[in-house]
Structure 1
Amino acid sequence: MKIQHGTIFARHHFPHLPMVVKIDVIKKIQARQKRAFSSQRNIDLYADEVVSEALKAATFIEKEFPFVDSKKGVDKERIQGMGELNHIVLMQDEELKKLSQKVVNHNIKLIGSIKFDNNAEDEDGDDGYAYINALFDAYKLMRTNVIYYHIVAPLTGRKRLSTNDLEVAIKKMICDDWILKQFLSLRRYYIEYAQVALGRVGNGKHQSKMISDISYKNWTESQRKAMAFVESMCVVNEDTGEEYDLKEVIKRTTANPKNRHTEMMVKSRGFQELATSKGYTALFFTWTLPSKYHRNSDKWDGSSIKKGARRLMKLWQLVRASLAKVKLDYFGFRVSEPHKDGCCHAHYFLFCHPENKALLIEIMEFYAVQEDREELGCDITPRFTVTESDPEKGGATAYIAKYIAKNITGKFLPETDSELNAFKARAWSSTHRIKQFQSFGSVSVSLWRTVRRAKRSDVVFNPECLEMFDHADKHRWAKFCETSKKALLVIEKSVNRYGETLRKVVGFSWLCKTILTTEGNFKLVKKSELTNADEALKSSGATSWSTENNCNQSQPDAAKSENDNQSCRFTKLLRPNFLLGVTDAEYACELFNDFEWI
């Protein structure tokens, strides 16, 4: 890719820019060429200016994603036969699939290099240590390999690891579907970070608010594909044969933005009623990050939007720890939303006793302004503000309603572009994996939703349980919080293909009596297959779920005795699908004697 405009400066530096930056530079120059009366001299000067700005952005992009640095050499010995990660590969689905398979194959080859020490015995004289040591050695080698490809390895940041944790992590890193998913996540992050660094996100000319045009279009396309899938599927009860349109099912859940908006408003009003009954006051905090996290600031240090969001969450953890130490009672909401340049900031709606108001403000302010305190001077309002609820202006709910609406549906707001901005806020949240809303200090919303799914006939056995049900059924959040203290969620555990324990809410219990709200076995089936529903249910590979325990049953004695040998456990865990026909003894013999993978 070459540039046809600019002076020697632009033509010299352009070839060394990352591909994503080159594309942006060319787009800007082409846009300038379309202007009326644009002379060659003006275009050349503009090209120099654009390349000069691109060099600054490239520094941050290359630091965050070293694989795009064209000036940096590649490890030819490492990538030989494996493939290299670069801009072109990252942008193409088929190339990513090939690279994912190569990464998996190399991870399997690393397993073959592990030396299994059968002499490593634990305190009981078993060879369990040998198995654990082999697992850990395999995990370390595979972790190093995936980190080279800018994939965050499972268990990163964990201080304590169990045998099951290592087994799960290894299974993920030898699964091409999991590796591909990480690459797709990397692509999403790479695109948006580059657009932010290039100044494509903001409130200025040729900028897009909150999220770049590219990422927003990608998000809307993923939403379109998801809706097309939903419209093509139905849910079938395997026990009764009943069929439900998946689209209609989703409309009834909080996956529907309208229902989510309604639920948040019910909770906010319930919090206000609960605070009134306790004599609490409402405080509204706005918490903004220092200048170094904002792309529109000259002090921006290349920090990503996700890094800023994590910093906010870390500081909030410190606040909650401090509040717990002084035993300050509070409850409320947190809303995370983007500035115009995409940087995350948070609004906290907290209810506390008037006597604790000053202490709560002091603790919040301390953590909000301590980082880069010198840049604030005497005025801390750019970073931290607090307002007390005014009942004459509608109370706490009136304050909260605006932030709920602007981040979910955009309804009931005076701005003409409120709905578009709400969509962009949701796209921003999805792209950066940032949770928009969180409540604390109250009953779990999962319990609320579960009780609302129950039938009245299931709860009439106890007057108190019936009262709780009526409050949930009639959207009385405050009363529900007061009457649900005896209710507990009923959790069903299962295991996925990686060996991870999954937790599914199937009902709730009241005084040792269990009320199931999710019963039966269900399967997703394409509507086009409904004419042969029985055959489809038997042969379809669609995902099914049930309230039954799907954990693996105990193995026969012969298989159980075979599993007593730790090396067999290791080979069974790590053996790829294409070697399923090989016996354990044959595979173990090859695996632990430098088996050469083709």
Structure 2
Amino acid sequence: MRTPPTIPAHLPRLAARFDLSSEDLGNCAERCAARVQRLADLWSHAGTPPGQVMRTLRRTAKRHSVYMPQKDSAAECINRMSDPAWWRRALRKRFRAVELHAIQTGAVHRHASPYVSAKALRRHELNAARLAAQMDGLEAINQTTGEAVPMSDLIEASLANPANRRAALMARIKGIETSALAKSHVGLFLTITCPSRMHPRHSMSGAPNAAYDGTYPGRAHAYLSRVWSTATRRAAHLGLTAYGLRVVEPHHDACPHWHLLVFTPADQADAYADNLRAYALADSPNELGAQERRFTVKRIDPAKGSAVGYVAKYVSKSIDGEGVDFDSESDNDGRAAARRQIAWARTWGIRQFQFFGVPPITPTRELYRVSAAGLPGLALPELHQACKANDYAAWLATVEAHELRLGVDYAERESTRYRGETTKAISGLTVEGGDLTQPLSLVTRCDTWRIEPRAKGQAQAPSERAATGSDFSPWTRFNNSAPIDAKGLFPSDAPRAKTEKKGEEGETAVRGSVLHRAPLPGAGRGDWESARPAA
């Protein structure tokens, strides 16, 4: 069989070179980091100019087909390129060339391996199993109280748990819809698809597409992002407002498409859809089927069903497949399709979900961490109550009614990974507006935690932890949100809400005090600098 003309001559060679096992990739990362460290020692001894150092580092990155660190100084680049962990992440991105070769040789489509190649799926699942085993061997130690919490328990109780993540997304979508209905706004469900030239295979037969120009999924996603950004800029210029959720999914041949749940004032709905249609069809508007299939609009009629119902399948299919019996795009059940979609997103570095036109969720999660005691005024306690009730519609209504502005505060600390550098971490919130006479700072994170290996023989499987009653409440930094569904909107998905302990030390909320539970650092970080005031 002749190689299709769209495949670059060097791609098979690159794919063979980059297709490393986990062990080989780790060994390569160690060698590359050690070589840069030896060079760094020589440069330090000889006083080599930074310009010459950067040229050598760029040549090293090019030799191994990785991107340079996105840093300005030579010292910052050396810190990363002498770190095996940085090299492992950089080298894993080369798997995209391996996957592109699989796509272009017909290994990824409905009748072969939908969404991702069999090799990419296997690599993703082995990596997930490796990370799970690593987390089972670690625990977080509170440096103030000595409390020890297994990392696997924290992950199970956090938004890293697919069931929690799915329920949290759906609860937020429900809140946005409730807010939109209160304003008499209408909902639109839009789908944007790439031009035919970006699709490697035909939809039903899986046969090669003669119009395919070699576009890989990452570039196709970038095309859709440009369509969206230019269209939304034009909409803002026209005075059109919209908010909602974007979901990215792959077609069977790995080419992405977007689903958009959009809420907008009723008198702007047609203009908003027409504006987005113009940009979505600007590329190849006259190709066969473009007008009918490349951009579709469905108006959501609340009398027939909610907006949550429109997106529930797409959200679930992109997380864990719960409640999806059959995926017509891949001819698989929902759980198998979800495994493949997640592997596809991880392989190409594509963000699956993104809200737009609504306040960021981080202030909501941070406010949940503080106690209502001591919160001044009327607006902030009302906002805190909405947060604790996990009522996102009430949160939005309170923010808008009182014109509250919330910002996240960050504290700088010395990096535990890169010598001579600092890093930023969330320390609290700043609230302005409403009935506050001046900006108010709230401390939400204070104690010091450290990730350490667990004592030998302590690791337990989730089922064993449940049997022994060693589950922990989701109070840590790994789950900054409220109980997933306190209002009972999704009873089959929501974990049971747990009551808070009362009367613990430092339950409060203003600068100079501490909150009732302390944060944990991200996995892999050595420690967390405390913001607790000195005694």
Quick check: TM above 0.5?
Answer: yes
List aligned pairs for 1:123-272, cutoff 5 A: 134-155=49-70, 164-186=72-94, 188-204=95-111, 207-272=112-177
Tell me, yes or no, if structure 1 residue 97 matches structure 2 residue 14: no
User: Percent identical across equivalent pairs?
Assistant: 22
Match of 2:346 in 1: 430
User: Which residue of 388, 405, 413 maps to 2:324?
Assistant: 413
1:317 aligns with 2:317: no
* Aligned 1:177-576 pairs, distance under 5 A: 177-186=85-94, 188-204=95-111, 207-296=112-201, 297-376=209-288, 379-415=290-326, 417-457=333-373, 459=375, 461-484=376-399, 485-496=404-415, 497=418, 502-510=423-431, 511=436, 512-528=439-455, 543-548=526-531
Distance 1:380 1:193 in 2: 29
- 5+ residue gaps, structure 1, are 1-51, 70-84, 117-133, 156-160, 532-540, 550-598
Deviations 1:37-82 (A, max 9, x none): xxxxxxxxxxxxxxx24x238x62544476469xxxxxxxxxxxxx
Residue 86 and residue 395 in structure 1: after superposition, are their counterparts in 2 closer, same or farther (change >3 A)?
Answer: closer
The one-letter code sitting in structure 1 at the alignment partner of 2:80 is K
Q: Distance in 1 between matches of 2:22 and 2:126?
A: 18
Alpha carbons 1:107, 1:174 under 8 Å: kept = no
Contact 1:305 1:342 in 2 (8 A): yes
Taking the aligned partners of 1:114 and 1:380, their CA distance within structure 2 comes to: 65
Q: Provide the C-alpha distance between the structure 2 equivalents of 1:195 and 1:274, rounded to a whole number of angstroms.
A: 45
Q: State the distance in 1 between where 2:41 and 2:212 align.
A: 43
- Give the secondary structure class of the aligned counterpart of 2:318: helix
Partners of 1:257 and 1:278 lie apart in 2 by 32
Structure 2 unaligned spans of 5+: 202-208, 327-331, 459-523
**TM norm structure 2:** 0.75
Q: CA deviation at 1:303?
A: 1.5
> What is the distance in 2 between the residues matched to 1:145 and 1:93?
16
- SS of the equivalent of 1:342 reads coil
TM-score normalised by L of structure 1: 0.68
Distance 1:166 1:86, change over 3 A: same
Assess if the C-alpha contact under 8 Å between 2:29 and 2:91 holds in 1. no
Q: Which amino acid aligns with 1:408?
A: I
- What amino acid is the match of 2:352? Q
Flag the 1:173–1:467 CA change in 2: closer, same or farther, 3 A: same
Residues 276-326 of structure 1, C-alpha deviations (whole Å, 9 max, x = no match)? 122211111101111222111222222211111122112222122222222
Q: What amino acid sits opposite 1:191 in the alignment?
A: V
Cα offset for 1:91?
Answer: 8.1
Q: Which of the pair is proportionally richer in helix?
A: 1
Q: Kindly indicate whether the alpha-carbon contact (under 8 Å) linking 1:62 and 1:68 is maintained by their aligned counterparts in 2.
A: no
Q: CA deviation at 1:260?
A: 0.9
Q: How much has 1:341 moved relative to structure 2?
A: 0.9
CA distance in structure 2 between the partners assigned to 1:499 and 1:264 by the alignment: 39
How far apart are the structure 1 equivalents of 2:106 and 2:91? Answer: 24
State the alpha-carbon separation in 1 of the partners of residues 58 and 314 from structure 2.
41
Quote how far apart the aligned CAs of 1:98 are: 5.7
Deviations 1:143-173 (A, max 9, x none): 2331232111234xxxxx8xx5554234333
Indicate conservation of the 8 Å contact 1:110/1:138, yes or no.
Answer: no
Alpha-carbon distance change, 192 to 88 in structure 1, aligned in 2, over 3 angstroms: closer
Structure of higher CA gyration radius? 1
Deviations 1:349-407 (A, max 9, x none): 11111221222112211211111223247x51221111111112212221122211111
Q: Indicate the SS of the match to 1:337.
A: strand
Cα distance in 2 between the residues matched to 1:386 and 1:476: 29
For residue 81 of structure 2, what is the amino acid of its counterpart? Answer: M
The one-letter code of the counterpart of 2:372 is R
In the alignment, the residues of structure 2 paired with residue 98 and residue 244 of structure 1 have an alpha-carbon distance, to the nearest angstrom, of 31
Contact preservation (8 Å) 2:25, 2:91: no
CA distance in 1, matches of 2:529, 2:261: 38
Structure 1 CA distance for aligned equivalents of residues 272 and 420 of structure 2: 43
Q: Quick one: distance in 2 between partners of 1:542 and 1:530?
A: 23
Q: Provide Cα deviations, 1:109-161, integer angstroms capped at 9, x if missing partner.
A: 99589997xxxxxxxxxxxxxxxxx4344324422331232111234xxxxx8
Aligned 8 A contact 1:103 1:146 in 2: no
Number of corresponding residues:
443
CA distance in 2, matches of 1:180, 1:247: 23
CA, structure 1 residues 176+251, in 2 after alignment: closer, same or farther (shift >3 Å)? closer
Report deviation, 1:437: 0.2
Change beyond 3 A, Cα 1:407–1:213: same
Verify the 8 A CA contact 1:506 1:547 in the aligned structure 2: no
Deviation at 1:473, TM superposition (A): 1.4
